[in-house]
Chains A and B, each alone.
Chain A
Amino acid sequence: MHIIESSKEYDVIIVGSGAGGGMSAKVLAESGLSVAIVEAGPFFDPTDPAQMTQLKWPYESPRRGASSTRAFGDFDAAYGGWEIDGEPYTRAEGTEFDWFRSHMLGGRTNHWGRISLRFGPKDFKRKDIDGLGDNWPIGYDDVKPYYDKVDKLIGVFGSKENLDNEPDGFFLPVPKPRLHELYYVKAARKAGVTVIPSRLSILTKRVNKDRGICFYCSQCSRSCSAKADFSSSSALVFPAQKTGQADLFVNSIVREVITNDEGRATGISYVNKEDRQEYQLKGKTVVLAASACSSARILLNSKSSQHPNGLGNSSGIVGKYLHDSTGSSRAAFVPELMNRKVSYNEDGVGGLHVYSPWWLDNKQLDFPRGYHIEVWGGMGMPSYGTGFGITEMNKLVGGQTGGYGNKLRDDVKRFYGSIMGVSGRGESVAQKDNYCEIDPNVVDEWGIPVLRFHYKWTDYERLQAKHMQDTFEEVFHEMGATPLGDAPGKDKDYGLAAPGRIIHEVGTTRMGNDAKTSVTNKNQQLHEVDNVFVVDGGPFVSQADKNPTWTILALSWKTSDYIIDQFKKQNIT
């Protein structure tokens, strides 16, 4: 086997086509630079009828949408999942981390929740507030202009609220709450929990001529054929390709960044999954956007005499400070939502129309960081699992469980839409001891050494999850709702989801001013190699109780502007 080299030298090679890679591809290609986008998975176009799952009925799937091949069910747009055949990862004994990967054009943006929250001024400077972790080397004012640009380019609905640490933006108007959400609003207010309209990157109004307007099927997780949700494919990569400046390489899994004798990057090598051959692309700059852990893996696997510890890793910090959002949830039965009128279509947008941003001061609490609350429920489309355990619900209204015959039809209909749930999503404290590294003994089917994870929650996260559960019960109490099952107690870490499960993992190539304690500088540029950048969640110093995507997009744009400037100044030639 020999390595097949390309003759063309690109200005920029971008690894990955999700939020960070897509944004970088668009901004750089539109500036006139030549760009190669290298994506590990297949091409995906949400408007292609052969790939579309939007508006399919459960009976169009023989398994009625069950999650046998896709983690979130047959109709979810994300290819891949927690485990990918032939591409394992390992965990150090006694630790846990579940890694969700989606190898496809657009990556996880094809199915994500579209919750698009700006980090606030405090989120960049947490150490100043509680002494834990580290401050970012940048602040809100540095990122604000880019948040503004992302809002206008991609579109996000929301409302001006003038809340502390929840900055407002350039919002589209919000959709009206659904019925169960009105119940939540009322109960949350009684419980003293702030509740405002949600902020999602779904187009309630037109933002440009290329993308459509939401038609309220609630299926953003299926990737929208009208391009009315933010998916990196339809909102960023296709526009980048339109410039004629961007070449897309799909089914191409990157092994390493290639460096020259001076230790600078000259390109990348990748395996083409179709012919299993190894290829090299030449580039003046390499932008990693493969996801926090995949980018760390590429850096750690890019060993050379100049970089014996992996690229940009003399500090040993690559892979360290891995952290995910916390998550804990509870569901409840709302008696007033029994026997609902089914006269109307309640789908709405994909996900929540209302949510609770963090409303308390951690100085008064026994845990350092906040969380927000997401709300779910309603008269949704049935899928595999509908009707499971339905007769158990009778216990809650003093009826008979079990049975058979047409009484079951009444059970299913009486309880339809009567269950709602709440999920807390919080900030964990980044720990140096939570990390990924190269497993010395295991390779994937492409011969590339794989990641081994070490991750343990601390009491900061456990106590936060306890607070979530207490809040949930209070809100349900105010609603007159009956929480389902037992509240998860101390023995179950208060329902705290395993690390990785919330799919907000960040921090593996964190930014900082000190090259000894960080991997990238404030421009997301490796301290040690000035023509390698990271524009996924890796450079996050702390992840806030916000979802990371909007910040990934803003920082990727900011870094791309910096790269353009470096080309102009001929610092990169």
Chain B
Amino acid sequence: MDRRESMKTMLVGSLAGGLVIGCTPEEEATEQVATPVKSDAYGRTEEEKLRDELLHEAEFFTEAEVGTIATLCDLILPATDNFGSATDAEVPEFIAFIAKDITEHQLPLRGGLMWLNHRAIKKFSHTFDECTLAQQTELLDEIAYPDKATPEVAQGVAFFNRMRNLTLTGYYTSKMGIEELGYKGNRPNVWDGVPDDVLKEHGMAYDEDWLAKCIDQKTRDVMAEWDDDGNLLT
């Protein structure tokens, strides 16, 4: 038994709890979480596993279609100094999967790619992928701004809205995107209110009355006991 274990044993039921032991509430919260399993397991039932397998094995888009999707993804989210592009975050792979999973994406994406290529050929005599960056930009400028677009390209606008949505969702649900967004959760924590600097910035404060009802996190590991009127004693 190490020192901390023996301290813990000695302090069972004591009000001092985690503080005397010298580990933070965050560390204690982390300790009680089960060991994560391999990353491809995400709690699927047998039916769901089978469905995933079949989807992974199937192909919907052609190689050429995936190529154009990748081109579009990186025009929508190119790399920055600090973060990678949509293709760096494997967004085209996500889109290829989601079209098989949510089949209502299939026709609008396939047809939309054809629409775009047709537009590109009409204007520049090349498919979209074969166009120069300047030509691609010109084609996107027609369909990327719903409020300014002409009725002539309305179908292209609908297609590009969908591509933009899927690219953003694919990117900001990736590891890279979540890091860029700055989301700090999905890990054991001990919530103790909005930090003071943030409260101050928003001109907010906690009422004393309200705070009196809140958990004192130093006592979180102490067994709850009440008197007969429901007043918490611990």
* Contacts A207-B223, A215-B29 given; does A64 touch B182 at CB 8 Å: no
Q: Does A400 contact B (CB under 8 A)?
A: yes
- Complex: A390 Cα to B177 Cα, angstroms: 15
Taking CB atoms, residues of chain B closer than 8 Å to A88 are none
Contact between chains at A342 and B102 (CB < 8 Å) = no
In this complex, which of A185, A405, A413 has the most chain B Cβ atoms within 10 angstroms of its Cβ? A405
Contact (Cβ within 8 A) B185 A174: no
Q: How far is the CB of B61 from chain A (nearest CB, A)?
A: 15
Chain B residues in 8 Å Cβ range of A55: 33, 36, 186-187
Among B43, B182, B223, the residue within 8 A (CB) of A50 is B43
Is A226 located at the chain interface by the 8 A CB criterion?
A: yes
Which of A164-172, A319-327, A532-540 contacts its partner? A164-172
A341 to B172 CA separation, bound complex (whole angstroms): 18
CB of B2 closer than 8 Å to a CB of A: no
17 contacts between A and B (CB under 8 A): A60-B39, A62-B55, A68-B101, A174-B214, A176-B206, A177-B193, A177-B206, A182-B204, A213-B32, A215-B32, A215-B188, A225-B33, A345-B191, A387-B169, A400-B145, A405-B77, A408-B164
Point out residues on A near B: beta carbons under 8 Å: 42, 47, 49-53, 55-66, 68-69, 74-75, 79, 148, 151-152, 155, 157, 159-160, 168-179, 182-183, 185-186, 197, 204-208, 212-213, 215-219, 225-226, 336, 341-349, 379-391, 400-406, 408-409, 412-413, 416
A383 to B94, CA, bound (A): 13
B interface, by DSSP: helix, strand, loop or mixed?
Answer: loop
Are A382 and B183 interface neighbours, CB within 8 A? yes
B165 adjacent to chain A (CB < 8 Å)? yes
Contact A226 B165 (CB under 8 A): no
| B145, A213: Cβ atoms closer than 8 Å | no
CA distance A404 to B40 in the complex (A): 32
Nearest-neighbour CB distance to chain A for B182, whole angstroms, equals 3
Contact for A215 among B33, B172, B182, CB less than 8 A:
B33
Within the assembled complex, what's the spacing in Å between the Cα atoms of A380 and B80?
Answer: 24
Given A56-B42, A384-B98, A405-B78, 9 more pairs with CB closer than 8 A:
A58-B178, A175-B191, A178-B194, A205-B219, A205-B234, A206-B222, A217-B189, A403-B145, A404-B140
| B198 close to A215 (CB less than 8 A) | no
Q: Mark B198-213, 1 if CB is under 8 A from A, else 0.
A: 1101101010001101
Chain A residues in 8 Å Cβ range of B204: 179, 182-183, 186
Digit string of B141-169 for contact with A (CB within 8 Å is 1, else 0)?
Answer: 00011111000000000001100110011
Q: CB < 8 Å: which of A56, A57, A405 contacts B75?
A: A405
Q: Which 5 A-B pairs have the closest CB atoms?
A: A387-B168, A342-B182, A176-B193, A347-B185, A215-B29
Q: When chains A and B are docked, how far (Å) is the Cα of A66 from the Cα of B42?
A: 13
A346 near B164: Cβ-Cβ < 8 Å: no
Minimal Cβ-Cβ distance residue in B for A172: B224
Q: For residue B146, which residues in chain A have a CB less than 8 angstroms away from its CB?
A: 401-402
> Closest Cβ of chain B: how far from A411's Cβ, in Å?
9
Is there contact, CB below 8 Å, between A173 and B232?
A: yes
B-side contacts of A406, CB under 8 Å: 77-78, 80
Q: How far is the CA of A68 from the CA of B51 in the complex (A)?
A: 10
Q: Is B57 an interface residue (CB 8 A)?
A: no
* CB neighbours of B22 from chain A (8 A): none
Query: For residue A207, which residue of chain B has the nearest CB?
Result: B224
> Is the beta-carbon distance between B76 and A408 smaller than 8 angstroms?
yes
Q: Which residues of B contact A (CB under 8 A)?
A: 29-30, 32-37, 39-43, 45, 47-48, 51-52, 55-56, 75-78, 80, 83, 94, 97-98, 101-102, 140, 144-148, 160-161, 164-165, 168-175, 177-178, 180-195, 197-199, 201-202, 204, 206, 210-211, 213-216, 219-224, 226, 230-232, 234
B219 touches A51 (CB 8 A): no
Chain A contacts for B202, CB-based, 8 A: 179, 182-183, 336
CA distance A162 to B230 in the complex (A): 12
Q: What separation, in Å, do the CA atoms of A324 and B187 have in the docked complex?
A: 35
Provide the residues of chain A in CB contact with B165, threshold 8 Å. Answer: 387-389
The interface residues of chain A lying within 8 Å CB-to-CB of B164 are: 391, 402, 404, 408
Which residues on the A side are within 8 Å of B195 (C-beta)?
343-344
Residues of B within 8 A of A379 (CB): 183-185
Cβ contact of B226, chosen from A170, A342, A380, A402, cutoff 8 A: A170
Q: How far is the CA of A388 from the CA of B148 in the complex (A)?
A: 19
Q: How far is the CB of B139 from chain A (nearest CB, A)?
A: 11
In the complex, what residues of A have CB within 8 A of residue B220's CB?
204-206, 213
From B45, B198, B206, B211, A344 is in contact (CB under 8 Å) with B198
Most A Cβ at <10 Å: residue of B30, B188, B231: B188
- Bound-complex Cα distance A225 to B37 (A): 13
A381 to B78, Cβ gap below 8 A? Answer: no
User: Which chain A positions have C-beta within 8 A of B210?
Assistant: 176-177, 185, 197
Interface centre among B83, B197, B219, B226, by most chain A C-beta atoms within 10 angstroms, is B226
Specify which of A206, A346, A405 is in contact with B76 (CB 8 Å cutoff). Answer: A405
Q: How far is the CA of A347 from the CA of B148 in the complex (A)?
A: 39
Cα–Cα, bound, A405→B193 (Å): 36
Query: Considering the chains assembled together, what is the distance between the CA atoms of A68 and B97 in angstroms?
Result: 12
Is the pair A182, B194 in contact by a Cβ cutoff of 8 Å?
A: yes
Evaluate contact between B41 and A50: CB separation under 8 angstroms. Answer: yes
Contacts of A79 in B (CB 8 A): 45
Is the beta-carbon distance between A169 and B42 smaller than 8 angstroms?
Answer: no
Q: Give Cα distance in the complex from A384 to B95, angstroms.
A: 11
**Which residues in B have their C-beta under 8 angstroms from that of A179?**
194, 198-199, 202, 204
CB < 8 Å neighbour of B191 from A75, A183, A348, A416: A348
The answer to whether B169 and A386 touch across the interface, beta carbons within 8 angstroms, is: yes
Closest to B205 in A: A182
Q: Are A217 and B177 in contact (CB under 8 A)?
A: no
- Smallest CB–CB gap between A335 and chain B, Å? 12
Q: How far is the CA of A400 from the CA of B147 in the complex (A)?
A: 8
Bound complex: CA A151 to CA B47 (Å): 37
Q: Is the CB of A409 within 8 A of B77?
A: yes
Q: Which residues of A contact B47 (CB under 8 A)?
A: 69
| Other-chain residue from A68, A172, A217, A343 in contact with B187 (beta carbon distance below 8 A) | A217
Q: With CB as the reference atom, state the residue of chain A lying closest to B141.
A: A404
Residues of A within 8 Å of B182, CB to CB, are 342-343, 413, 416
> Which residues does chain B contribute within 8 Å of A183, judged by CB atoms?
202, 204
- B174 partner residues in chain A, CB cutoff 8 A: 59
Q: Are A63 and B98 in contact, with the CB atoms below 8 A?
A: yes
User: What B residues does A213 contact at CB under 8 A?
Assistant: 29, 32, 220-221
A170 contact set on B, CB distance < 8 A: 226, 230
Contacting residues, chain B, for A343 (C-beta < 8 A): 182, 184, 195, 197-198
A384 touches B173 (CB 8 A): yes
CA distance A76 to B188 in the complex (A): 18
Q: Can you name the residue of chain B whose Cβ is closest to the Cβ of A56?
A: B42
Shortest CB distance B208–A (Å): 13
